[in-house]
Chain A
């Protein structure tokens, strides 16, 4: 556990030093969302209706954008060999790496999302649901993405393959997250959707590291 914490801090430090890694997903998230009012016009009711879907789709694509760096660099420079040979279980190492990755991709999205909601004229009561859905949903996206990133290790043009593999698995998260945010505007409770998101996160924490670690081991063979 102590070693996992060290790995988490190490990875976090690496990604914070590599400024472009931090900026790229947020920049994509903000710019892609800004494009929507520019394209469909400033009509408040239309934007409010689109807001949950647009914010979630762009957030999802932003996390996808950052996925390939999760294991690929470590694989190419030999660090993954050393990590697989370190005394800590590889599953725990994967969990530590995914957490560090989420802290530099998912977490910033959650922080800027209210601003984008404001721009998209998001219904005033929906902010809490949006934030909670992102808080539960983006770690799940990172975990699912980790499996995809591990499976495509060593594949040529792995990025395209990764998107094809991972995007279908993102569908349930997207559906329940946007339903949660949309439900509030229609006067329905967001709670059941959020609970489903939470259960997906729990399932992801348990299963994804095991699958990703197995995929990494086979990639290192």
Chain B
């Protein structure tokens, strides 16, 4: 039973405090959907959870232990899907997934991951020929192949057709059934049963309060 928590998290980008006083808890098998208007800090919160961004205030913890104490262990338990798909045009689909799976000693999971998202027929195609939706599927297949406990997904459904969204929902459900945790920022309705909802607009700092604080 694992537990990923954040308490009193604040995030500053440039001179602007994007959100503050944010708390969340997700447990094994759980999911958290981040919602909020553009610029409310969904992507920043995901980068913060991944450890790419240091919180301006507050603490992230895994099973009660601060994440900042052992960044290496935290990196080993997350898969992060950002806006960018991290695809090299000259590598094939299989190689694009394989390299990253290989770094985590999970080479055997490349083929099943491609099967899940319907990429098996494209396996040997250089990635420069992929469409936007196919590129997104490749990036998602990479997450599935790496399969660490915590998935951090930033707008996972961008460019996906309905069939791929259904495949993704199945994969997310399977991941949660086997004890995984999903945190996703999304505008599109995506089927995540019993998922917690975190509306970032609630944690936005009113600009008047900010002016006073300064």
Q: A residues near B, CB below 8 A?
A: 3, 6-7, 10, 14, 17-18, 76-79, 81-82, 84-89, 220-221
- How many residue pairs at the A-B interface have CB separations less than 8 Å? 55
Q: B residues near A, CB below 8 A?
A: 50-54, 72, 75-76, 78, 80, 82-88, 90-91, 99-100, 102-104
11 contacting pairs across A/B (C-beta < 8 A): A14-B88, A77-B85, A78-B82, A78-B83, A79-B86, A85-B50, A87-B72, A87-B103, A220-B52, A221-B52, A221-B53
Known: A86-B103, A87-B75. A78 touches B84 (CB 8 A): yes
Contact of A6 among B50, B72, B86, B103 (CB under 8 A): B103
Contact of A77 among B53, B88, B103, B104 (CB under 8 A): B88
Evaluate contact between B88 and A79: CB separation under 8 angstroms. yes
Known: A18-B90, A87-B76. A81 touches B52 (CB 8 A): yes
Evaluate contact between A85 and B103: CB separation under 8 angstroms. no
Evaluate contact between B99 and A6: CB separation under 8 angstroms. yes
Known: A86-B104, A89-B72, A221-B54. A10 touches B85 (CB 8 A): no
Known: A85-B78, A87-B75, A87-B104. A77 touches B87 (CB 8 A): yes
Evaluate contact between A85 and B104: CB separation under 8 angstroms. no
Evaluate contact between B85 and A82: CB separation under 8 angstroms. no
Contact of A78 among B53, B85, B102 (CB under 8 A): B85
Tell me the dominant secondary structure on chain B's binding face.
loop
B121 to chain A, nearest CB (A): 23
Instruction: Using A76-B84, A81-B52, A87-B72 as known contacts, list a sample of 6 further A-B pairs with CB atoms less than 8 Å apart, ordered by residue number in A.
Output: A6-B103, A14-B91, A85-B51, A85-B52, A86-B104, A221-B54
Residues of A within 8 A of B91 (CB): 14
Residues of A within 8 A of B99 (CB): 6, 10
Evaluate contact between A82 and B83: CB separation under 8 angstroms. no
A168 to chain B, nearest CB (A): 30
Residues of B within 8 A of A84 (CB): 52
Evaluate contact between B80 and A82: CB separation under 8 angstroms. yes
How far apart are the CA atoms of A77 and B90 in the complex, in Å? 13
Residues of B within 8 A of A14 (CB): 88, 90-91
Task: Closest A residue to B98 by CB, please name it.
Answer: A10
How far apart are the CA atoms of A79 and B99 in the complex, in Å? 11
How far apart are the CA atoms of A84 and B72 in the complex, in Å? 10
Task: Closest B residue to A10 by CB, please name it.
Answer: B99
- Max chain A Cβ within 10 angstroms of own Cβ: one of B52, B82, B104: B52
A16 to chain B, nearest CB (A): 10
B180 to chain A, nearest CB (A): 17
Residues of B within 8 A of A7 (CB): 103
Task: Closest A residue to B73 by CB, please name it.
Answer: A87
Evaluate contact between B86 and A82: CB separation under 8 angstroms. yes
Residues of B within 8 A of A89 (CB): 72
A23 to chain B, nearest CB (A): 16
How far apart are the CA atoms of A3 and B103 in the complex, in Å? 5
B212 to chain A, nearest CB (A): 27
Task: Closest B residue to A89 by CB, please name it.
Answer: B72
What 9 A-B pairs come out closest when comparing CB atoms? A78-B84, A78-B86, A79-B86, A87-B76, A17-B90, A86-B103, A10-B99, A82-B86, A3-B103
How far apart are the CA atoms of A52 and B76 in the complex, in Å? 49
Residues of A within 8 A of B87 (CB): 77
Task: Closest A residue to B50 by CB, please name it.
Answer: A85
Task: Closest B residue to A4 by CB, please name it.
Answer: B103
B3 to chain A, nearest CB (A): 21
A132 to chain B, nearest CB (A): 35
A117 to chain B, nearest CB (A): 35
A109 to chain B, nearest CB (A): 24
